């Protein structure tokens, strides 16, 4: 069987790592079902070997339609892998983030991936295929204001471990990819949401968290600007989906590799101090960095 005889499904493929991974897999000869949320996004990603499919992973009807598309593939191609990549970032201190925002972040970054995986597992059982879950460095280390995002990614990591152990006896592999800094649009969207939250703070809330939130904006901007291009991340994700003997986890970028190792060996208090030191230079001048300590 050649790669052109196999399908790969990717969610969140309209921009960033998802789009880069779709292009890389198509270049390698796979037929990519590129999940996008809007028709305008479909037109932007459509290319040779890339077939856009409308997929909002929080919409059960979209998920069912994609599962039917895979099962009724006109060429009878098996599903080689599903790459659960869709995601959003909403940053705010735990005290300030509304419960609606908490639930929405988990719906997109966790429950949606579970739903997609459940829907396509019959096809993966038939093909001895693979589940690739795109986690984050935030699935190992949670910075201030990343409680909801990190919480969903920690949950994705745990689910992936359980799923890997459940499916191993049946020939289906499960892989986690943990990116660090990558130059994508998602960080910009997250910063815009954080700025909106910052603008709506009460004086007391601004006194507690204003400096921290501005520091996070600065830190995230610098972290993304110094990160890898999406194309480099796409190559790692494509390898995770297709190599014959994948590792259980892949990191993307030196920052992710270092921090994930440190999180395993350092005591919590020491890790707290290291993260605070990394964040401190980003606080506004004259603003004490007490929120980072």
The answer as to whether 200 is a domain residue is: no
pLDDT, residue 106, reads: 98
pLDDT, residue 287, reads: 65
% of the chain at pLDDT higher than 70: 95
The count of structural domains within the chain is 1
Q: Summarize the confidence of residues 222-247 as an average pLDDT.
A: 93
What is each CA distance from 217 to 92, 110, 187, 210, 221, in whole angstroms? Answer: 11, 24, 10, 11, 6
* Residue in 30, 149, 209, 250 annotated catalytic: 149
Q: Summarize the confidence of residues 213-232 as an average pLDDT.
A: 89
The answer as to whether 188 is a domain residue is: no
pLDDT level of residue 3 (50, 70, 90 thresholds): low
Q: Summarize the confidence of residues 20-37 as an average pLDDT.
A: 98
The answer as to whether 191 is a domain residue is: no
The answer as to whether 161 is a domain residue is: yes
The answer as to whether 67 is a domain residue is: yes
Domain that includes residue 121, residue range: 3-183+228-266
The answer as to whether 68 is a domain residue is: yes
Active site residue 146: no
> 276 is written with which tokens?
């605070």
How do residues 196-213 score in pLDDT, each as one tens digit?
888 889 999 999 999 999
How do residues 168-204 score in pLDDT, each as one tens digit?
999 999 999 999 888 877 666 777 878 888 888 999 9
CATH code, domain with 50: 3.40.50.720
pLDDT, residue 114, reads: 98
pLDDT, residue 292, reads: 44
The answer as to whether 219 is a domain residue is: no
pLDDT level of residue 281 (50, 70, 90 thresholds): very high
The answer as to whether 276 is a domain residue is: no
């Amino acid at each position: 069987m050649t790669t052109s005889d196999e399908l790969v499904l990717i969610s969140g493929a309209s921009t960033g790592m998802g789009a880069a991974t779709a292009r890389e897999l198509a270049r390698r000869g796979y037929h990519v079902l590129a999940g996008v949320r809007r028709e305008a996004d479909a037109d932007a990603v459509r290319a040779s070997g890339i077939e856009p499919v409308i997929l909002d992973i929080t919409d059960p009807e979209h998920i069912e339609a994609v599962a039917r598309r895979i099962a009724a593939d006109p060429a009878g191609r098996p599903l080689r892998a599903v790459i659960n990549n869709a995601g959003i970032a909403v940053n705010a201190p735990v005290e300030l983030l509304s419960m609606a925002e908490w639930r929405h972040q988990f719906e997109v970054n966790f429950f949606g991936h579970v739903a997609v995986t459940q829907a396509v597992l019959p096809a993966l059982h038939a093909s001895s295929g693979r589940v690739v879950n795109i986690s984050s460095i935030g699935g190992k280390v949670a910075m201030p204001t990343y409680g909801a995002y990190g919480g969903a990614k920690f949950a994705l990591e745990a689910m992936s471990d359980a799923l890997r152990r459940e499916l191993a006896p049946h020939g289906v592999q499960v892989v986690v990819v943990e990116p660090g800094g990558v130059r994508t649009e998602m960080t910009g969207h997250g910063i815009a949401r954080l700025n909106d939250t910052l603008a709506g703070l009460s004086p007391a809330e601004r006194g507690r968290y204003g400096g921290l939130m501005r520091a996070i904006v600065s830190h995230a901007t610098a972290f993304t600007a110094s990160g890898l291009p999406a194309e480099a991340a796409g190559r790692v994700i494509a390898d995770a989906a297709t190599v014959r003997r994948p590792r259980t986890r892949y990191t993307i970028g030196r920052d992710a590799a270092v921090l994930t190792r440190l999180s395993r060996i350092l005591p919590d208090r020491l890790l707290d101090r290291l993260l605070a030191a990394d964040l401190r230079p980003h606080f506004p001048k004259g603003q004490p960095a007490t929120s980072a300590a």
